Amino acid sequence: MEAAGSAGSKSCKAAAPHPLSKDVLGFEDDDEDDDLEVFSKQYWTMSPGNTWPGSCTKRKELRIQTTCDQRQRSCSRGRTDKDASFTDASSFSISMQTSPSSMINQHTLEDEPDSKDIFVTVDDPENHVTAIETFVTYRITTKTTRSEFDSCEYEVRRRYQDFLWLKDKLEEAHSTLIVPPLPEKFVMRGMVERFNEDFVATRQKALHKFLNRIADHPTLSFNEDFKIFLTVQDFASHKKLGPGFISKMGETVRAVASTVRSVKNRPDEFTAMGDYVDIFRQKMGTLDKISQRILKELREHLAEMKEYGPIYTQWSESEQELAEPLKGVASSIENCCKAIEGLTMGLTEDLLPALHEYVLCAETLKSVLKRRDLIQANYESRVDALTNKKADREMLEHSDLSFTFGAFLGKNTVEMKQQKQQKIDREIEELQADIGRLEDKVECANSDLKADWERWSNNMRSDLQSAFQNAAENNIHYFERCLATWESFLAFQQTEIKADKNGKEST
């Protein structure tokens, strides 16, 4: 129903063309994007104090802020009717005058067809020390124009355990959707590492990506628990309303017991998915380990280079005739150190996070496939039970109850047979109802997983392609900078040698 409502709102917004739309302005097809950009910029700057928002992301955030201001002004005038919200574009017509700063103008200037309507930021880690424990919380700022939110901006603080709660809730509600992975609970080198600044900063970025992955998801972003996570201030009391520890343990035991069943007729496409995930997990794990080792070696090399350069500087103080070349070598080594720092920064900020995220994604995919198999296994077990019950019913029709224990006690065999038949019939009806329900559940699980798998595959390829491209550019920049440094040093030395040679010849 939520997806249907979302689709309905989009169709409403597309009902009437906007005053700055391409059709109304009448641009030519070949240059309509450039013409629209120029015209929109001129139209925007016609009003005093307005500046062109620039990039698409900035225009989106500015649209969110504009909607917030408009909603606040609307509330101050006592207008609380949601139908009069500025987010409803259907109330605007071509003849209606709209200011350049209105949300509708910004909406039509978006580069992407599906405008993002929720922005989440994770920042400002803060240590908390209590008598029982020490932990870190992160500030979560949310800006949105969705009508189901009471406000357009929220700010809450959450700890890592709260993120785990959200992930569990999403997997419970959408068992065959690919919920983004969370960073590991803590590093294995020791609990003290949890409060290391680098570790906290890395976790903050991972948590930021986790929430934005959910916010970009067409189904997970509309989950009620996700909304609660982003908006509720007293979150600890809300978490207590969930199932208790004993209930969770019971569910875990039942899930483990159910996984023992094997799936008889798994579709080939899901078998292929499982094989792909196994290979993907192996390759990503190997790339992650090698990249971590390369980063470690680069840092060790950088530390040695930083010790290497000053030696030439000290040497130049005692060698007057070699002072300039020695200082040049020291300066070149210093520039190379800066280039290595840029290369290591690129690895830590771009390539390694992407590789490690998809190492964790592989584990998530295995869990999703297991949950899908569990649904099918439950369906197949009910089908087998129904087959057995029908066989029992057929055997009962041709059986003789004269030598049963009830017959020896004087019970009527005809009545006994009727009672057993009625009992089996009731069980067959219940099984048929369960089979119908589980069959629908299997179909939904299969369609959800296939759609989410395609979406995940596209995102994965885009993310890794971007990470590899950035890594290549960082390596090129590193080698170009080092090459330029040493070429400059050589050119200077050759000039000095020629000058000395000419001086000697002239004398």
- pLDDT tens for the chain, 507 residues: list them: 444 444 444 333 344 443 333 343 343 444 444 443 443 444 344 444 444 444 444 445 555 555 555 555 544 444 444 343 333 333 333 333 333 333 333 333 334 445 688 999 999 999 888 888 888 999 999 999 999 999 999 999 999 999 999 999 999 999 999 999 998 875 544 444 556 788 888 899 999 999 999 999 999 999 999 999 999 988 888 777 655 444 454 444 455 444 445 788 899 999 999 999 999 999 999 999 999 999 999 999 999 999 999 999 999 988 888 888 999 999 999 999 999 999 999 999 999 999 999 999 999 999 999 999 999 999 999 999 999 988 888 887 776 655 555 555 556 666 777 788 888 889 999 999 999 999 999 999 999 999 999 999 999 999 999 999 999 999 999 999 999 999 999 998 888 777 777 777 776
Query: For position 45, what pLDDT does the model report?
Result: 42
- Buried b or exposed e, range 367-406, using 16+ CB within 10 angstroms: ebbebbbbbbbbbbebbebbeebeeeeeeeeeeebeeeee
Q: How far apart are CA 170 and CA 65, in angstroms?
A: 29
Instruction: Compute how many other C-beta atoms are within 10 angstroms of the C-beta atom of residue 353.
Output: 18
Q: How far apart are CA 10 and CA 186, in angstroms?
A: 42
Judge contact between 67 and 87, C-beta under 8 A: yes
Judge contact between 144 and 161, C-beta under 8 A: no
Query: For position 494, what pLDDT does the model report?
Result: 87
3-state helix, strand, coil in the chain (%, to 5): 70, 5, 25
CA atoms within 13 Å, Cβ hemisphere of 201: 5
If we measure between CA atoms, which residue out of 20, 426, 7 comes closest to residue 222?
7
Beta strands in 340-463 (DSSP E): none
Query: For position 158, what pLDDT does the model report?
Result: 95
Beta-bridged to residue 140, according to DSSP, are 122, 156
**Torsional class of 205: left (φ above 0), alpha (ψ -120 to 50), beta (otherwise):** alpha
Q: How far apart are CA 368 and CA 170, in angstroms?
A: 12
**Torsional class of 143: left (φ above 0), alpha (ψ -120 to 50), beta (otherwise):** beta
Judge contact between 301 and 340, C-beta under 8 A: yes
Judge contact between 313 and 327, C-beta under 8 A: yes
Instruction: Compute how many other C-beta atoms are within 10 angstroms of the C-beta atom of residue 340.
Output: 20
Q: How far apart are CA 431 and CA 382, in angstroms?
A: 6
Query: For position 83, what pLDDT does the model report?
Result: 42
If we measure between CA atoms, which residue out of 250, 175, 188 comes closest to residue 219?
175
| pTM summary value | 0.70
First to last CA, the chain: 95
- Buried b or exposed e, range 135-152, using 16+ CB within 10 angstroms: ebbbebebbbbeeebeeb
Task: Say which amino acid occupies 390.
Answer: K
Judge contact between 471 and 342, C-beta under 8 A: no
Query: For position 186, what pLDDT does the model report?
Result: 59
If we measure between CA atoms, which residue out of 378, 93, 169, 340 comes closest to residue 257?
378
If we measure between CA atoms, which residue out of 111, 109, 118, 112 comes closest to residue 52?
109
Beta strands in 165-298 (DSSP E): none
Judge contact between 351 and 291, C-beta under 8 A: yes
Query: For position 115, what pLDDT does the model report?
Result: 67
Query: For position 279, what pLDDT does the model report?
Result: 96
Query: For position 92, what pLDDT does the model report?
Result: 31
H/E element, 128: strand 118-129
Judge contact between 44 and 52, C-beta under 8 A: yes
CA atoms within 13 Å, Cβ hemisphere of 234: 4
Query: Mutual orientation of helices 352-397 and 197-216 as an angle, nearest 10°?
Result: 50
Judged by DSSP in three states, 285 sits in helix
Tokens of 62: 């500015």
If we measure between CA atoms, which residue out of 37, 59, 21, 47 comes closest to residue 99?
47
If we measure between CA atoms, which residue out of 135, 128, 154, 127 comes closest to residue 143?
154
